[in-house]
Amino acid sequence: MCGIVGYIGSERAVPILVEGLKKLEYRGYDSAGVAVLEEDQLHLRKSAGNLAVLDKIIQKEKIPGCMGLGHTRWATHGAPTDKNAHPHLDCAGEIAVVHNGIIENFQEIKAELEKEGHSFATETDTEVVAHLIEKYYEGELVEAVHRATQDLAGSYALAVIHRKTPDRIVAFRQDSPLILGIGADCHFLASDIPALLPYTREVVILEEGEMAELKKQSFRVWDPGGQEREKEIEQVQWDVQMAEKKGYPHYMLKEIYEQPAVLRQLLQEPLSGDQVEIPGVKKILEQMEDIERIFIVACGTAYHSGLIGKFLLERAWGIPVEVDVASEFRYREPLIGDKTLLIVVSQSGETADTLGALRYARARQAPTLGIINVRGSTIAREADNVLFIEAGPEIAVASTKAFFNMVAAFNLLALKIGGQKGNIISPEKLEEKLRELPALAEKTLQGVEEGTRQAASYFQKWNHAFFVGRGLDYCLALEGALKLKEISYIHAEAHAAGELKHGTLALIEEGIPVIAIITREDLLEKMVSNIQEIRARGGYVIGIAPVDFGPRLGEELDRLLLIPATEGALAPLLATIPLQLLSYHAARLRGCPIDQPRNLAKSVTVE
Ligand code: M6R
């Protein structure tokens, strides 16, 4: 993963680089570093720990120089130490390189370079790039980077500066994102758009295998064959405020509270006319009758949204839908062809496994649909159809508003397809209920804030928790457990409520917290029986249910968090909110670094 920034212009580079890195810290926070050129002086500062540690070091000095690179790391090769922090240098200390991705053949290259006399200072894969460029440099940095990249295998976004050419930054992209920012008399580069937003909304997105040279007043781009290429300058719709905390203590809380607004944004265009119109899926609708089977493929939270998508689409479309974890999908060699629709779901649009699944399907002529948040991301560019979830920048590592809008996007799709196929009894009613949902989400946020705080305080003394549900609620249970593990480090397991008695019930002991999600009326009695089984063994059951179930559940639970009543298929969206807040408050009470949980990064661009 890792985040890269670069700047060349007339301002002092260090504050700009640090500001950019702050916006990319979600990509990794094991170490951070900057390399700045001032005439022919290369200033390098790097340190293990998050950006705040580096910031403290560089605050003490006013490093000069109006061009440089910055990096925030999610360690892959080599421990998260000062030494292994990027940028990395060549033998002469003249070339500085930052890298996001993995150089798969670095061992062979390193052995070869060592034989040629290069000496290595770190355990990273990245350092070979600096030495390769040193080997090939004959006065032209672009040429040297081009030759070096010919030797590399793997995924890598690179940015390079050389003490002898202090008027340019050279960048290269292969399977890891890299975006150029166009300023007035200056240029930027970054792994993701939020890092550019304080300076510019004009961007150029590099494609696979493209190389760029940034100077103060100009930029050039070459295609993989080495031909110079004109690039379109795109206008970003997000503004700088969207990527700020806006007074919230954490991005995660801000993003939870943004859910009603982002849902309104998602629904606005599709529900603005007489017919439901979803921009980006027209081709799929034309091919609808030819499609015999659907695969939904994604990772983590996006995968959980896919599980819900399966329920919705199978019913609406009337064809079988399978859901796969992306890291497993292509290795089981699924039977896929031109009558199979592959739906990939991803907030970042950069997740390596999900991208791998997309490419696997495209290579077999399968039509593809991306349900994606980030415009311009690799998956958004490569999928045949894209339904953008309009969640705006999501900075916290724990995904909240993106999940919310992924599930809402599946509902929209189901409404459109089910309406067209006649598989939904009353599409008008469902549409009406969807329209009401943003207001109900607001009501849910107000209604459960205090209850989730109190319930979370119960978790304080526990290191284990269980989540149970049936049907769509089981999918939500999986998401609730992931969220709790990820940010509070409480071990959490999710089970289909009816499965507990087949083994896991043995773990239920006096007082252990169990969160039961109960939004399905038809399964209410069965859930009550499962809850009784848990409580009879001492489990402390916190229920999440629509307000109209309250009278039937009151006595059955130790604590009840009520959400507004809505259409059955939409209730899981509202039930997501207390689950998110429960995790948030549990993590807060435990003093965890909520936006940057240990060992994780937001955008997982390695397999
Ligand atoms: O960007 P993506 O949606 O493809 O990311 C997939 C997962 O890495 C992501 O959902 C992850 O599980 C989140 N950290 C969960 O909160």
Ligand 1 contact, 399 CB (< 6 A): yes
CB 224 within 8 A of CB 207: no
User: Which residues face 295 on adjacent strands?
Assistant: 322, 342
What was the pLDDT predicted at 341? 97
Interatomic CA distance for residues 324 and 154, integer angstroms: 24
Whether residue 351 has its Cβ less than 6 Å from ligand 1: yes
Q: Name the active-site residue from 2, 186, 299, 592.
A: 2
Nearest Cα residue to atom 10 of ligand 1: 301
Question: At 408, which helix (H) or strand (E)?
Answer: helix 401-421
Domain topology for 445-591: Rossmann fold (3.40.50)
> One of 22, 110, 433, 602 is an active-site residue; which one?
602
Out of 604, 606, 607, mutate this one to test ligand 1's pocket (max ligand atoms within 8 Å of CB): namely: 604
Residue type at position 345:
V
Question: Distance between CA atoms of 300 and 459, rounded to whole angstroms?
Answer: 23
Q: Which pLDDT does position 424 carry in this prediction?
A: 85
**Residue closest by Cα to atom 12 of ligand 1:** 300
Regarding the beta carbon of 444 and ligand 1, being less than 6 Å apart is answered no
Cβ(348) – ligand 1 distance below 6 Å: yes
Q: What are the average pLDDT values for consecutive 10-residue runs of the chain, which has 607 residues?
A: 93 96 87 92 93 89 94 87 93 96 93 95 94 96 96 94 96 94 96 92 94 97 94 86 83 97 96 90 90 97 98 96 96 93 96 95 97 92 96 94 98 94 88 95 96 92 95 97 97 95 91 96 93 95 95 89 93 97 96 91 76
398 lines ligand 1 (CB under 6 A): yes
Q: Of 1.10.630.10, 3.30.300.30, 3.60.20.10, 2.40.30.10, which CATH number belongs to 3-240?
A: 3.60.20.10
Rounded-to-integer distance, Cα 567 and Cα 106, Å: 54
Residues contacting residue 14 through CB under 8 Å, at least 6 positions apart: 34, 36, 58, 63, 65, 68
**CB of 302 shorter than 6 A to ligand 1:** yes
Nearest of 27, 18, 109, 113 to residue 76 by alpha carbon: 27
Ligand 1 pocket, residue 299 CB under 6 Å: yes
Nearest-atom number in ligand 1 for the CA of 347 is: 3
% helix / strand / coil in the chain, to the nearest 5? Answer: 45, 20, 35
CA 607 – ligand 1 centroid, Å: 13
The alpha carbon of 352 and the centre of ligand 1 are apart by a number of angstroms equal to: 11
Closest CA to 242 of 371, 349, 28, 391: 391
Cβ of 596 closer than 6 Å to ligand 1, yes or no, is: no
Rounded distance from Cα 301 to ligand 1 centre (Å): 5
If residue 386 lies in a helix (H) or strand (E), which one and from where to where? strand 385-388
Q: How close is the Cα of 300 to the center of ligand 1, in Å?
A: 5
Distance CA 445, CA 563 (A): 9
Q: How distant, in Å, are the alpha carbons of 335, 342, 487, 604 from that of 28?
A: 36, 30, 15, 10
How remote is the CA of residue 299 from the centroid of ligand 1, in Å? 6
- 27: which DSSP letter? G
Which pLDDT belongs to residue 99? 95
Euclidean distance between CA atoms 460 and 84, whole angstroms:
36
Closest by CA to 53, choosing from 87, 77, 25, 76, is 25
Whether the Cβ atoms of residue 444 and residue 563 lie closer than 8 Å to each other: yes
Find out whether the beta carbon of 486 lies less than 6 Å from any atom of ligand 1.
Answer: yes
Residue nearest atom 6 of ligand 1, based on CA coordinates:
299
- Any residues with CB less than 8 A from the CB of 540 and at least 6 apart, and which? 458, 511, 512, 513, 514, 558, 559
602 is annotated as an active-site residue: yes
Expressed in angstroms and rounded, the spacing between residue 63 Cα and the centre of ligand 1 is 37
DSSP assignment, residue 496?
Answer: E
- In CATH, which of 3.40.50.10140, 2.60.40.60, 3.40.50.10490, 3.40.50.2300 is domain 249-424? 3.40.50.10490
Q: Is 514 left (phi over 0), alpha (psi -120 to 50) or beta?
A: beta
What per-residue confidence (pLDDT) applies to 574? 97
Residue 455 and residue 515: Cα distance in Å, rounded? 10
CA gap 570, 564 in Å, rounded = 11
Which two structure tokens, joined as six digits, stand for 83?
A: 């030494």
pTM (two decimals): 0.83
Q: Where are the alpha helices (DSSP H) in 502-600?
A: 524-536, 550-553, 571-589
Q: Calculate how far, in angstroms, residue 348's C-alpha sits from the geometric centre of ligand 1.
A: 8
pLDDT in tens, 325-355: 999 999 898 999 999 999 999 999 999 999 9
Q: What is the pLDDT of residue 168?
A: 97
Taking the CA of residue 298 as reference, the ligand 1 atom at the shortest distance is 4
Distance 303 CA to ligand 1 centre (A): 8
**Whole-angstrom distance, CA of residue 323 vs CA of residue 329:** 9
Task: Report the distance separating Cα 76 and Cα 113, nearest Å.
Answer: 21
């949980």: which residue's tokens?
A: 597
354 CB near ligand 1 (under 6 Å):
yes
pLDDT in tens, 421-477: 999 888 889 999 999 999 999 999 999 999 999 999 998 889 999 999 999 999 999
**Residue 379 Cα: closest atom of ligand 1:** 4
Does residue 215 carry a catalytic annotation?
A: no
Which residues contact residue 446 at a Cβ distance below 8 angstroms, ignoring those fewer than 6 apart? none
- The beta-strand segments (E) located in 135-227 are 154-162, 169-174, 179-182, 187-190, 202-205, 211-214, 219-222
Shortest-distance atom of ligand 1 to CA 399? 16
Ligand 1 centroid distance, CA of 455 (Å): 26
- End-to-end, the C-alpha distance of the chain in Å comes to 10
Domains 249-424 and 445-591 share a fold: yes
User: Maximum distance among all alpha carbons in the chain?
Assistant: 79
Count of residues in the chain: 607
Q: Whose CA is nearest to atom 11 of ligand 1?
A: 300
Question: Which one of 299, 592, 600 would you pick to mutate in the ligand 1 pocket, going by the greatest count of ligand atoms within 8 A of its CB?
Answer: 299
Per-residue model confidence as pLDDT tens digits over 164-178: 999 999 999 998 899
H or E segment and range at residue 401: helix 401-421
347 lines ligand 1 (CB under 6 A): yes
> Residue 220 phi/psi, 5° resolution?
-135, 150
Say if residues 290 and 284 touch (Cβ distance below 8 Å): no
Domain coordinates of the chain in residue numbers?
Answer: 3-240, 249-424, 445-591
